[in-house]
């Protein structure tokens, strides 16, 4: 907490007056505005890095990793590809409903343990293909929860609570069957117990509830539309459980479409999602959620997702996909080039609607 | 307009369960059609929301997943999962959920997780997602199924989402204060649940389908004594479905 509070202090110091004093002290003979820009540049400075730097600095083998986004939307794809490229393995992934980034990470062999509610990509892959193969062939250890349960577990972690409570799932196999072995329980970041059925202390004699262990992932990775030069994160459209995930994690990496000036992002704080002192790394990377959607920037890419589904069904073709779209891509510029301008024009979002109207999604 | 597909019949039949003012927790696919056709015809004040947090979007184009950016456009508000499941559980609201599954038993309990042993499955499905939450917490839910013996089973391979549990008052006794399955809409007809035993019964069969056809495709005994033929889709219902709800034929095709 010490580090965070220190950063919080710095944040409050960043008022124009303080900035002005700071500027005078540093003998900047320049206008207040220029000093402010300089100051904010410095603020993001150490956190602004490439995907390669962010992943190597903040993600290591065996980490518990929370994946932001939801099935076809705002998956942190660039970071997922970078994790694969760096050969990070033995990850313990925690998520609610996930799609493309999960499938890629599982398919590339980066994941050992998975706590999840849903693995699917809409009509392109009703069940994620590499995920299904990995589960059926025992390549990963999996434990199932529901979406609400997983979201509550992140919220519990964010609130500093040991567990959360719900009525969801009573009597079902979600609460009766533990996907992890007794030997695995209590090790790493795996909860001692999957959950606990308890008597409701405020209810009738036999009224029961489900207690869910909170989650505090090592790392949370998120793709957002905007980050301010001060580090403030702004997500447009649905936030899913990204905020709970970021608030519960020890480290947070954010990729973003655009970086806004400090004054721009603070003009309308109502629209902002996460404060700067929770963010450890910011990667400026347009199209970093492709082939999933990023509200108001681009739609999901049906052509790419169909191609992926086709290639993922075959082990050899999947390896070719990884080579072509992950290993052989040195940086995001090359990736964008490979996707191509005509495809990007096809999926470009309408500024009002937020998606690409009339896009062929069949 | 005499001809109509089974899918259109199912969408219309399910839509008729939605009352004006209902707050509908929708999935994608056929449930989108049902919710939207109801809203455009007899339930203009019903509201559709998604587990991802999209509340009352305009749905000018049909979303193909609950995280499709189309669930965010023209919405009353865009929130997140915690907010949407809180709405689902809100005591003031009559929340109706649409769910699909791979297997269903006679009490409307659902499996959307796997076939075979959970730790060594023969087939893996996507998993609960929000289905278990909706089945647990909504005021009621409607299930879409392909009517096949292998799907209407005596025992689920995995029990993902709670229906009437073991029938009678077992759901209430287990700690669920409301909800439960209202109907199962299939390609052959509409099943309901006996008011006291909570066992599945045939409520309505589609034109051209006999009650025996339904029974022959069900893996457990189905009470056929109360069934009647369903009213086919009206011209208005079909026209709305084809011209307004899914003109791109994303689901109807």
Give tens-digit pLDDT for B55-107. Answer: 999 998 999 999 999 999 999 999 999 999 999 999 999 999 999 999 999 99
**Pair of tokens at residue A31:** 């206008």
Q: Which CATH number fits domain A46-144+216-350: 3.40.50.170, 3.40.1160.10, 3.40.50.1000, 3.40.1080.10?
A: 3.40.1080.10
Decide if pLDDT at A38 tops 80. Answer: no
Q: Are A293 and A353 in contact (CB under 8 A)?
A: no
| Rounded Cα–Cα distance for residues B131 and B110 (Å) | 9
Surface-to-core class of residue B186, CB atoms within 10 Å of its CB (0-12 exposed, 13-18 middle, 19+ buried): buried
- Of B68, B73, B50, B78, nearest to A239 by C-alpha is B78
Provide the chain A residues 82-101 that lie in CB contact (below 8 A) with chain B. Answer: 96-97
- Of B215, B195, B244, B188, nearest to B13 by C-alpha is B188
Q: Summarize pLDDT for A126-136 with one digit per residue, the tens.
A: 999 999 999 99
Q: Which of B60, B67, B81 sits opposite A148 (nearest CB)?
A: B81
Q: How much is the mean pLDDT over chain A?
A: 91
Decide if pLDDT at A358 tops 50. Answer: yes
pLDDT at residue B75 in the model: 96
**Pair of tokens at residue A361:** 């999604």
| Rounded Cα–Cα distance for residues A60 and B173 (Å) | 47
Bridge partners of A224, per DSSP, are A256
Q: How many CB atoms lie within 10 A of CB A210?
A: 26
Surface-to-core class of residue A196, CB atoms within 10 Å of its CB (0-12 exposed, 13-18 middle, 19+ buried): middle
Q: Summarize pLDDT for B141-190 with one digit per residue, the tens.
A: 999 999 999 999 999 999 999 999 999 999 999 999 999 999 999 999 99
pLDDT at residue A36 in the model: 41
Provide mean pLDDT across the span A335-349. 98
| Rounded Cα–Cα distance for residues A127 and A134 (Å) | 12
| Rounded Cα–Cα distance for residues A144 and A274 (Å) | 28
**Pair of tokens at residue A250:** 């020890």
Please say whether the dihedral angle defined by the alpha carbons of residues A353, A357, A361 and B4, taken in this order, is positive or negative.
positive
Q: Summarize pLDDT for B201-238 with one digit per residue, the tens.
A: 999 999 999 999 999 999 999 999 999 999 999 999 99
Bridge partners of A116, per DSSP, are A144
| Rounded Cα–Cα distance for residues B145 and B187 (Å) | 7
**Pair of tokens at residue A23:** 């500027």
Decide if pLDDT at A15 tops 90. Answer: no
The model's confidence at residue A11, banded by pLDDT at 50, 70 and 90, is very low
| Rounded Cα–Cα distance for residues A158 and A150 (Å) | 13
Which residues of chain A make contact with B174, given a CB cutoff of 8 A?
170-171, 208
The string over B114-124, giving b where at least 16 C-beta atoms fall within 10 Å of a residue's C-beta and e elsewhere, is bbeebeebeeb
Q: Are A86 and B97 in contact (CB under 8 A)?
A: no
Complete domains list, chain B, with CATH: 6-245 (3.40.1080.10)
Q: Summarize pLDDT for A119-128 with one digit per residue, the tens.
A: 999 989 999 9
* Interface predicted TM-score (ipTM) of this complex, two decimals: 0.97
**Pair of tokens at residue B178:** 């409301």
Q: Summarize pLDDT for B99-151 with one digit per residue, the tens.
A: 999 999 999 999 999 999 999 999 999 999 999 999 999 999 999 999 999 99
Residues 6 or more apart whose Cβ sits within 8 Å of residue A31? none
The model's confidence at residue B248, banded by pLDDT at 50, 70 and 90, is confident
Q: Are B57 and B75 in contact (CB under 8 A)?
A: yes
- Of B8, B151, B34, nearest to B96 by C-alpha is B34
| Alpha helix positions (H), A15-86 | 16-25, 32-45, 51-58, 77-85
pLDDT at residue A192 in the model: 97
Domain with CATH 3.40.1080.10 in chain A: 46-144+216-350
| Rounded Cα–Cα distance for residues B228 and B98 (Å) | 23
B129 with A146: Cβ contact below 8 A? yes
Q: Summarize pLDDT for A247-289 with one digit per residue, the tens.
A: 999 999 999 999 999 999 999 999 999 999 999 999 999 999 9
B51 with A147: Cβ contact below 8 A? yes
Q: Summarize pLDDT for A209-255 with one digit per residue, the tens.
A: 999 999 999 999 999 999 999 999 999 999 999 999 999 999 999 99
Which residues of chain A make contact with B76, given a CB cutoff of 8 A?
none
| Rounded Cα–Cα distance for residues B234 and A336 (Å) | 49
Q: How many CB pairs under 8 A join A and B?
A: 199
B78 with A238: Cβ contact below 8 A? yes
| Rounded Cα–Cα distance for residues A224 and A219 (Å) | 16
Helices (H) and strands (E) counted in chain A, each on its own, are 15, 13
Catalytic residue among B51, B146, B148, B199: B51
For chain A, the residue count is 362
**Pair of tokens at residue A138:** 């025992």
Question: Can B61 be counted among the known catalytic residues?
Answer: no
User: Percentage of chain A surpassing pLDDT 70?
Assistant: 88
| Rounded Cα–Cα distance for residues A155 and A149 (Å) | 10
pLDDT at residue B28 in the model: 79
Residues 6 or more apart whose Cβ sits within 8 Å of residue A56? A86
pLDDT at residue B35 in the model: 92
A176–B contact, CB cutoff 8 A: yes
């Amino acid at each position: 907490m010490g580090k965070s509070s220190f950063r919080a202090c710095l944040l409050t110091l960043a008022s124009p007056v303080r900035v002005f004093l700071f500027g005078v002290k540093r003998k900047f003979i320049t206008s207040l505005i220029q000093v402010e820009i300089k100051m904010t540049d410095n603020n993001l400075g150490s956190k602004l890095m490439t995907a390669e730097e962010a992943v190597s600095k903040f993600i290591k083998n065996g980490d518990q990793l929370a994946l932001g986004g939801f099935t076809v939307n705002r998956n942190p794809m660039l970071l997922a590809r970078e994790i694969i490229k760096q050969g990070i393995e033995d990850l313990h992934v925690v998520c609610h409903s996930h799609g493309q980034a999960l499938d890629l990470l599982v398919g590339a062999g980066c994941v050992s343990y998975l706590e999840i509610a849903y693995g699917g990509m809409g009509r392109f892959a009703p069940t994620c293909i590499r995920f299904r193969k990995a589960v059926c062939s025992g390549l990963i250890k999996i434990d199932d929860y529901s979406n609400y349960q997983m979201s509550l577990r992140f919220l519990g972690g964010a609130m500093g609570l040991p567990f959360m409570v719900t009525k969801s799932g009573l009597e079902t196999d979600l609460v009766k069957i533990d996907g992890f072995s007794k030997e695995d329980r209590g090790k790493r970041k795996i909860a001692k117990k999957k959950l606990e059925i308890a008597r409701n202390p405020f209810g009738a004699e036999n009224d029961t509830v489900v207690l869910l262990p909170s989650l505090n992932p090592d790392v949370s990775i998120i793709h957002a539309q905007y980050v301010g030069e001060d580090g403030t994160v702004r997500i447009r459209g649905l936030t899913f459980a990204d905020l709970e995930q970021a608030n519960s994690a020890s480290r947070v990496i954010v990729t973003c479409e655009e970086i806004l000036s400090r004054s721009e992002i603070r003009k309308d704080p109502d629209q902002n999602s996460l404060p700067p002192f929770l963010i450890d790394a910011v990667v400026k990377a347009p199209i970093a959620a492709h082939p999933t959607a990023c509200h108001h920037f681009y739609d999901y890419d049906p052509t790419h997702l169909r191609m992926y589904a086709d290639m993922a069904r075959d082990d050899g073709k999947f390896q070719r996909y990884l080579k072509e779209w992950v290993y052989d891509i040195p940086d995001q510029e090359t990736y964008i080039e490979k996707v191509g301008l005509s495809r990007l024009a096809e999926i470009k979002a309408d500024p009002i609607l937020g998606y690409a109207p009339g896009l062929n999604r069949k | 307009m005499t001809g109509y597909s089974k899918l259109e019949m199912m969408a219309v039949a399910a839509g008729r369960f939605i009352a004006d003012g209902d707050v509908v927790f929708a999935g994608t696919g056929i449930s989108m059609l049902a919710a939207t056709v109801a809203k455009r015809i007899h339930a203009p004040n019903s509201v559709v929301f998604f587990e991802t947090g999209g509340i009352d979007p305009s749905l000018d184009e049909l979303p193909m997943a609950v995280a499709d950016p189309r669930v965010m456009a023209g919405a009353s508000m865009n929130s997140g999962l915690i907010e949407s499941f809180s709405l689902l559980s809100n005591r003031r609201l009559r929340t109706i959920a649409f769910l699909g599954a791979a297997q269903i038993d006679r009490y409307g309990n659902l499996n959307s997780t796997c076939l075979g042993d959970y730790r060594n499955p023969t087939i893996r499905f996507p998993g609960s997602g929000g289905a278990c939450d909706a089945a647990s917490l909504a005021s009621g839910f409607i299930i879409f199924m392909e009517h096949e013996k292998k799907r209407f089973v005596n025992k689920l391979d995995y029990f993902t989402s709670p229906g009437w549990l073991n029938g009678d008052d077992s759901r209430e006794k287990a700690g669920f204060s409301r909800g439960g399955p209202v109907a199962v809409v299939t390609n052959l007809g509409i099943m309901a649940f006996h008011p006291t035993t909570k066992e599945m019964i045939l409520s309505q069969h589609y034109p051209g389908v006999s009650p025996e056809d339904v029974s022959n495709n069900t893996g457990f005994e189905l009470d056929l004594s109360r069934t009647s033929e369903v009213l086919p889709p009206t011209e208005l219902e079909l026209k709305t479905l084809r011209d307004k709800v899914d003109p791109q034929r994303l689901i109807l095709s």
